[in-house]
């Protein structure tokens, strides 16, 4: 009987390691989260999940905006401290060949065929499992890097209410030949 419990315990441990992520927080912060979760009548995981779904994107946008503001201020103060005028920066965008697109995520650009982009959109938007690996399994290998980068830039994310992956076209540019 004891051997069966050990085997079952190992199976539960493997399942938890595969399907659950552990988030480590300071004890004081954990106590605050626990207290607020109790006030609203939810468990801690439910509360954190709801908190992220409601405010995660907004918080990320605010932090990115603050980062870009501080970067602008830093550049501005550097140019004044040296007494030199800021150089003109020309934004040149390379136009791809006919039949290709450039997906511009800001710092990262991908050149792909139009057919691959259509396949990418179809697969991503038709996947209903909220795990990134489920999308990657369906995508061809040459589109994995594009998906990973778009996921990092929050251009591709899972919409819990719609129970499907969505592409946020406002987070990147598509440059195509005319």
Write the Ramachandran bin of 158: left for phi over 0, alpha for psi from -120 to 50, otherwise beta: beta
Helix (H, G, I), strand (E, B) or coil at 168: coil
Virtual torsion, Cα 154, 31, 33, 43, nearest 10 deg? 110
Helix 27-40 and helix 44-82, axial crossing angle in degrees, nearest 10: 130
pLDDT at residue 3 in the model = 77
Q: What is the pTM of this model?
A: 0.47
List the structure tokens of 14: 């493997």
pLDDT at residue 121 in the model = 92
pLDDT at residue 19 in the model = 72
**Residue 81 exposed, middle or buried by CB count within 10 Å (0-12, 13-18, 19+):** exposed
Q: How far is CA 4 from CA 7, 9, 11, 15, 117, in A?
A: 5, 9, 11, 16, 51
Measure the CA–CA gap between 178 and 98, rounded to whole angstroms: 8
Q: pLDDT under 50 in the chain at which residues?
A: 70-92
Q: For residue range 119-141, what is the model confidence (pLDDT) as tens digits?
A: 999 999 998 888 888 888 888 88
């Amino acid at each position: 009987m004891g051997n069966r419990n050990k085997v079952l315990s190992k199976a539960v441990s493997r399942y938890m390691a595969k399907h659950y992520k552990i988030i480590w927080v300071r004890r004081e912060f954990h106590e605050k989260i626990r207290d607020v979760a109790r006030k609203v009548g939810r468990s801690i995981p439910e509360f954190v999940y709801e908190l992220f779904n409601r405010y995660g994107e907004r918080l990320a946008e605010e932090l990115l905006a603050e980062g870009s503001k501080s970067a602008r201020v830093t550049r501005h103060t550097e140019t004044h401290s040296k007494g030199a005028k800021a150089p003109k920066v020309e934004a040149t965008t390379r136009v791809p060949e006919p039949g290709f697109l450039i997906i511009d995520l800001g710092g990262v650009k991908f050149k792909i065929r139009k057919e691959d982009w259509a396949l990418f959109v179809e697969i991503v938007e038709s996947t209903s499992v909220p795990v990134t690996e489920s999308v990657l399994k369906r995508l061809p290998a040459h589109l994995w890097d594009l998906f990973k980068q778009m996921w990092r830039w929050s251009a591709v994310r899972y919409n819990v209410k719609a129970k499907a992956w969505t592409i946020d076209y406002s987070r990147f540019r598509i440059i195509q030949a005319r």
